[in-house]
């Protein structure tokens, strides 16, 4: 029985290479299993199973593969696969300079203090996209944390996470992942929208500034929202300086007779290399 295949939205970035190599789309393909296929692979369960099989039974996904596809000729190349490895990666993360930065988990079998499977804390792993299957652990992260984001120059990475009741931002220097800045995001967002929650974030094209989309989650009294809260997209420097908002007029639909509802904010996805 073949495993069920799920194509997950993952490394949806364009790698701009040299003129001879053209451009490639990088994406990941994750495979999950049904109960029936799992029974076929491990008919006796853990009883008498080799250690590698015991660790494989703990995986959430059977495997995740990362491919590149040439835009010029459609040729597909396998760049990385965690099949048969003790490392299990998530199917999402940024790409830069031939490497992907993904959330991962390493499991291992230990005989002491109690024999069994043990896992390291969740972390961001840097994996080489050259078919070598080489990887290294770079930064430990919190559960349910969004993927790290790398600027288009691949010189800095940023992680936004929720720690001890606060939204925190950590900026790292690449490729060594040395911590450059850490600051509380609420100090930037509070003056603009105290009732808002950060929904998404990313780098601007210059690789120095960050954007944060703020919106209200849940039921908020309309009068209170109109007086004190201004949902939208706000900018900050990598060190946490408040750089104001992206004007709400940007991205406005120009259609005769159309009036954009004030309670719906436009999504800022990102910025092109020419800064548009």
Give yes or no: residues 266 and 181 share one domain.
yes
Total domains present in the chain: 2
Of residues 183, 98, 174, the one with CA closest to residue 132:
98
pLDDT at 263: 64
Secondary structure (H, E, C), 237-264: ECCCCEEEECCCCCCCCCCCCCCCCCCC
Mean pLDDT for each consecutive 10-residue tract of the chain (276 residues)?
A: 43 39 80 85 83 87 91 90 91 83 91 88 91 91 81 91 88 92 90 87 93 80 66 92 84 76 74 83
Give yes or no: residues 32 and 90 share one domain.
yes
pTM of the model: 0.75
pLDDT at 19: 39
pLDDT at 18: 39
188 lies in which domain range? 148-276
pLDDT at 231: 85
The residues that bridge with 28 in the sheet, in sequence order, are: 66
- Looking at 117, 145, 173, the residue that finishes a domain is 145
pLDDT at 238: 95
- Looking at 115, 145, 175, the residue that finishes a domain is 145
- Dihedral sign (CA 35, 39, 44, 45): negative
- Looking at 112, 145, 178, the residue that finishes a domain is 145
Give yes or no: residues 184 and 108 share one domain.
no
Give yes or no: residues 5 and 71 share one domain.
yes
Give yes or no: residues 117 and 9 share one domain.
yes
C-alpha distances out from residue 205 to 149, 180, 272, Å: 13, 19, 6
């Amino acid at each position: 029985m073949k495993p069920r295949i799920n194509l997950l939205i993952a490394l949806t970035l364009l790698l701009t290479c040299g003129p001879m190599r053209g451009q490639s789309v990088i994406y990941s393909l994750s495979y999950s299993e049904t109960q029936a296929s799992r029974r076929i692979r491990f008919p006796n369960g853990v009883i008498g199973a080799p250690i590698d099989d015991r660790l494989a039974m703990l995986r959430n996904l059977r495997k995740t593969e990362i491919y590149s596809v040439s835009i010029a000729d459609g040729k597909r190349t396998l760049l990385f696969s965690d099949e048969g490895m003790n490392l299990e990666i998530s199917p999402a993360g940024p790409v830069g300079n031939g490497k992907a930065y993904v959330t991962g988990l390493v499991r291992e079998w230990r005989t002491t203090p109690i024999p069994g499977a043990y896992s390291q804390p969740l972390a961001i792993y840097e994996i080489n996209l050259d078919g070598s299957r080489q990887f290294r652990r770079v930064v430990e992260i919190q559960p349910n944390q969004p993927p790290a984001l790398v600027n288009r120059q691949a010189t800095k990475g940023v992680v936004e996470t929720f720690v001890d009741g606060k939204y925190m931002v950590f900026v790292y220097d690449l490729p060594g992942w040395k911590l450059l800045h850490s600051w509380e995001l609420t100090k930037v967002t509070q003056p603009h929208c105290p009732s808002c929650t950060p929904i998404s974030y990313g780098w601007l094209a210059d690789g120095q500034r960050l954007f944060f989309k703020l919106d209200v989650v849940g039921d908020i009294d309309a009068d209170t929202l109109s007086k004190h809260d201004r949902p939208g997209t706000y900018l900050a420097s990598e060190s946490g300086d408040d750089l104001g908002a992206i004007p709400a007029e940007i991205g406005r639909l120009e259609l005769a007779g159309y009036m954009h509802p004030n309670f719906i904010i436009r999504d800022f996805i990102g910025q092109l290399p020419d800064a548009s």
